[in-house]
Amino acid sequence: MDSIIVTGNGPLSGQIPIAGAKNACLTLMPATLLSDEPLTLTNAPRLSDIRTMTALLASLGAEVSSLQDGKVLAMSSHDLTSHKADYDIVRKMRASILVLGPMLARDGQAVVSLPGGCAIGARPVDLHLRALEALGAELDLRDGYVHAKAPGGLKGGVIEFPFVSVGATENALMAATLAKGTTVIRSAAKEPEIVDLALCLRKMGAQIEGEGTDTITVQGVDRLHGATHPVVTDRIELGTYMLDPSICGGEVELLGGKRDLVGAFCNKLDEAGIEVTETGRGLSVKRREDHIKAVDVTTEPFPGFPTDLQAQMMALLATADGVSVLEEKIFENRFMHAPELMRMGAKIDVHGGTATVTGVDRLKGAPVMATDLRASVSLILAGLAAEGATTVSRVYHLDRGYEHVVRKLQGVGALIERVPGA
Ligand code: EPU
């Protein structure tokens, strides 16, 4: 297995281009299953999760061509040859559950493996299933699979989520586009990835109102047609790289970055003493003073502070002046980076969903292990500011969500290299 070696090297400067969003692309790709005409996505990120979704769609009979070095995905689902999403693929990536709603809506049948547990929490899919039942789906859970049927097609209905779920909102939204009649989704997720999905579905002929608010209303149509759609900017990649100059000093411009994608995160950076400026090409980030101030952070659904930036923020706060309290409200086990940061000299106390971080002067390089995608990149950020070399192992997690991470960081002057495994 490859590892990444990063050595603290002082201030960074230059530009980093931000890719299309992994989590938007992973829901836009299954939308191809809703139509027998081609769907083309531009600004796609080059990631292993995208390759996994490509393999899943291909196993159902969709054709997916990766063009322009992977930045364009040309998809066509003229005929589906299978309606079964196999455990072997689903277990690699939970977002595979997003093929359930589209297959059911288009052909009235789908068999999808249940994803199982995950490093950051139990992550059940009960809300996805309840939403589809509200649209008239008949579900049977057996042999580790959801067997779903809608013999006369899905029918519009009222979906009332007990709390916000990004994936369940996406599945419900896609399914509702072809359901007969009107669907109302209440307590819908408002993430930019949901808005991007709604924009794409509308280009395909769907009738949707209210995306980006708590209530989304969908008027079902008989069929959807082809479209071309650019994937929205990855706000989590953006936020991650905004932390480079925050942690190391210097000034870095994130090309394609927009403040409204990371508003709550920018507010916390501001409190910590980081300046974010809109440049016309993106966002430019630098420290206002030499020191970082401690800040408290609570993760929340959008527009709150994203759980997907909590680990990276912890790496910043590890060397802040004072004590910061981070509360993780979305996933029950998302502090696995804390013990690894502690191996680098960070002072962190974790109790349940709360981590108390007491800033130290400087972190020290150490061998550390990546446990999930965002945890891995937080260790790289910590390594950029640490004294000496940090070796991050199990970097395959990183390949799921950050394209060309070594090249992008080298481009702003970081001392970082990838070392192939034995
Ligand atoms: N939940 C349920 N039942 C459900 C669905 C969710 O109890 O049926 C719970 C989850 O266990 C969690 C909470 O609801 O505690 C929110 O989960 P949500 O459904 O919103 O998350 P998701 O759709 O599975 C997406 C992203 C995650 C991101 C979360 C929250 C994708 C492919 N994944 O997951 O991204 O953390 O939303 O914003 O879009 C990542 O990229 O590193 C990542 C984990």
Closest Cα to atom 24, ligand 1: which residue? 167
CA dihedral 276, 406, 398, 342 (to 10 degrees): -70
Helix crossing, 126-134 with 100-107: angle to 10°? Answer: 20
**For position 117, what pLDDT does the model report?**
67
pLDDT in tens, 329-383: 999 889 999 999 999 999 999 999 999 999 999 999 999 998 899 999 999 999 9
**For position 261, what pLDDT does the model report?**
98
**For position 63, what pLDDT does the model report?**
97
Ligand 1 pocket check for 383: Cβ under 6 Å:
no
118 carries an active-site annotation? yes
Give residue 411 CA to ligand 1 midpoint distance, Å.
32
DSSP string, 146-209: EEEE-TT--B--EEE-SS--HHHHHHHHHHHHTSBSEEEEES----HHHHHHHHHHHHTT-EEE
Atom of ligand 1 minimally distant from the CA of 373: 42
CA distance 202 to 225: 10
**For position 123, what pLDDT does the model report?**
83
For residues 278-293, give the mean pLDDT.
96
- Local confidence band at 119 (pLDDT 50, 70, 90 cut-offs): confident
- Which of the listed residues 139, 166, 336 should we mutate to test ligand 1's pocket, taking the one with most ligand atoms within 8 A of CB? 166
Catalytic residue among 25, 118, 200, 266: 118
CA distance 138 to 278: 49
Neighbours of 399 (CB within 10 A): 17
Closest Cα to atom 6, ligand 1: which residue? 165
Share of the chain above pLDDT 90, in %: 94
Q: What is the DSSP letter of 299?
A: B
**For position 157, what pLDDT does the model report?**
98
Closest Cα to atom 16, ligand 1: which residue? 165
